[in-house]
Structure 1
Amino acid sequence: MTLHALRFRLVDSPTSLGARRRARRAAWLADTFPALADMTVLDLGGRVESWSRAPVRPAHVHVVNLEPLPAELPPWAEADHADACELPAGILRRRYDLVFSNSVLEHVGGHERRRRMADAVRALAPAYWVQTPYRYFPVEPHWVAPGMQFLPVPARVFVARRWPLAYTPGKSYEAAMRQVLTTELIGRAELRYLFPDATIRGERLLGLTKSLIAVRRP
């Protein structure tokens, strides 16, 4: 088995450890918000198809992402192409029951942009759920590379291009640099600073905190 195939089995396949953990997180979300099925949800950085597979689907989901929009949407969903840190006025004027974001905060590009996203999350709904990988888990989750997040930028770019468990090893220097510079894991102190009215929960793997979730109940 190649290392890239191993990554698929461990992280990316529908039956992988990563998929099981995502399913467990979805169940945790439903337990945290028992009225989820009746809620309007703003999902910053997510995908409509993820909610199609969710064990509990909200009454309405508004997905905001920088990716191309889906060609067709189910009647319970809407989607906009927008930046979670610079939301358009039409979205900022609205109110939702819950703002949700999963593994996006570490990709928005620096503390100031994380602060802008956090301010929008806190203002747009009485409840929120914001998950992000934990900086001090020993394995960087995007590249499945031990300790990569602690290396200087040139070394991280080298790993991004050469490490066989990366999503696409062998990518260009420019693409690897862009990916490295827009992936910045954060710790508990910064997450608490960004979301001072939240409870900070830790997801654990093998006894170690793997990711953090900032949760505010309505």
Structure 2
Amino acid sequence: MRAARGLVVAQFDAVTRARRWELFREAFPDIDELSIVDLGGTEEFWRHAPVRPRRVVVVSSHGTPGRVLPWLDVVIGDPTAHTGAYDAAVCDQLQDMTPEFASAVRQSATRYWVRSASVRHADLQRLFPDAVLRRERRGGFTVSRIAAKPR
């Protein structure tokens, strides 16, 4: 019984991730032309992504720095202190949103995608007033919130 339940949850999660990538592609239809900075992300997220940006720089406090793939680099450091100019900033699975982190997202790129399961809708709206906010729902419940500024 436990194995069957785990399989159902895994399939449900896979459907949720696939739908999230559809939303991402809708927000950034030119993804293959963009340079992306992923603040606090992982290389694995992009290795398995069904989208392939022109370039991705992952800025994280852990991992192995360097060129992972011809289009994917990892930089070790504080995501809020990273500087650079990119076409879009991405932050997926954000646990705690601070004004400093929101500022880092907006300073890195004019376009962005921020997703969080723990940050309240009103807080995302306050921190990203120019964003389109979406609720990601599963089984009738909000499981995460997305703040996106596609243009």
**TM-score, length basis structure 2:** 0.88
**After the TM superposition, which residues 127-138 of structure 1 pair with which residues of structure 2 at under 5 Å, given as runs?**
127-133=111-117
Q: 5+ unaligned residues in a row in structure 1: which ranges?
A: 134-184
- In angstroms, what is the RMSD of aligned CA positions? 2.1
Change over 3 Å in CA distance of 1:48–1:189 after alignment to 2: same
What is the rounded CA distance, in whole Å, between the counterparts of 2:148 and 2:66 in structure 1? 32
Change over 3 Å in CA distance of 1:78–1:211 after alignment to 2: same
Determine the structure 2 residue equivalent to 1:44: 39
Determine the structure 2 residue equivalent to 1:140: none
**Does the 8 A contact of 2:90 with 2:112 survive in 1?**
yes
Determine the structure 2 residue equivalent to 1:191: 124
Structure 1 residues 53-90: Cα deviation after superposition (integer angstroms, max 9, x where no partner)? 222210000001122226761010111111223x2xxx
**TM-score, length basis structure 1:** 0.63
Give the drift of 1:18.
1.5
1:9 to 7, 10, 14: 7
2:116 paired with 1:118: no
Give the drift of 1:10.
5.1
Greater share of helix: 1
2:91 to 79, 101, 115: 101
Q: Aligned pair count?
A: 151
What is the rounded CA distance, in whole Å, between the counterparts of 1:62 and 1:70 in structure 2? 10
Change over 3 Å in CA distance of 1:188–1:67 after alignment to 2: same
Give the drift of 1:204.
1.3
Change over 3 Å in CA distance of 1:24–1:68 after alignment to 2: same
Q: 5+ unaligned residues in a row in structure 2: which ranges?
A: none
- DSSP 3-state at the match of 1:97: strand
Give the drift of 1:6.
6.8
Structure 1 residues 183-212: Cα deviation after superposition (integer angstroms, max 9, x where no partner)? xx2211111111111111111122332211
Larger Rg: 1
Give the drift of 1:9.
3.4
- DSSP 3-state at the match of 2:32: helix
**Does the 8 A contact of 2:35 with 2:56 survive in 1?**
yes
